[in-house]
Amino acid sequence: MSAIDDLIAANQRYAEGLSPDALPLRTGGRLVVVTCMDVRIETGRAFGLSEGDAYILRNAGGRFAPALASLVVSQEMLATDAVAIIHHSDCGMMSFTDDALRDRLAARGVDANGMEFGTFADVDDSVRDDLRAYRSSALVRQDIEVRGFVFDVTTGRLREVAA
């Protein structure tokens, strides 16, 4: 059975147990969490979130730039008013550079010149960079709480990063 077949089977089990009282589109969740797609980050358990508590935006590295459009939608259309940017220790995005990935793609005949993948050398600096990028964007609200953290995948603890 393939990974996608497993996904379909799991979805069928989920759908069979789904209550007609499923959460509405606007759940009252006012928080947006931007974090990495790393499978070691179980957002519900790690951050004490239940279904409907927060909007979770995940991408490689937990970077602000790829999450920007979704942040705008959440703030303008879903009334979110707090943003937590959470990167993590031992992130794979620190194990290569944008140039190395572009070279790898070029070896396959793919031109990725100009594409930014969001790699970084220091996790605290990446959080600070994303906080600065957030604060310099006219598209997102500047009148709300925005904080940055590093999640330690070994201890499970969040550590705030000062801007």
The whole-angstrom separation of Cα 143 and Cα 150 is: 23
Per-residue confidence band for 17, with pLDDT thresholds at 50, 70 and 90: confident
- Of the segments 1-15, 23-37, 143-157, which one has the largest average pLDDT value? 143-157
The pLDDT score that the predictor gives to residue 21 is 72
Tens digits of per-residue pLDDT, 39-86? Answer: 999 999 999 998 889 999 999 999 999 999 999 999 999 999 999 999
The pLDDT score that the predictor gives to residue 23 is 62
Residue with tokens 């179980």: 42
Q: Is 72 left (phi over 0), alpha (psi -120 to 50) or beta?
A: alpha
Where are the chain's structural domains? 27-161
| Token pair recorded at residue 101 | 């990935």
Q: How far is CA 136 from CA 33, 44, 65, 130, 149, in A?
A: 19, 30, 12, 10, 19
Tens digits of per-residue pLDDT, 112-154? Answer: 999 999 999 999 999 999 999 999 999 999 999 999 999 999 9
The pLDDT score that the predictor gives to residue 163 is 80
The pLDDT score that the predictor gives to residue 139 is 98
CATH of 27-161, one of 3.30.530.20, 3.40.50.10490, 3.40.50.150, 3.40.1050.10: 3.40.1050.10
Q: How many CB atoms lie within 10 A of CB 45?
A: 9
Among the listed residues 159, 162, 158, 157, the one whose alpha carbon sits nearest the alpha carbon of residue 146: 162
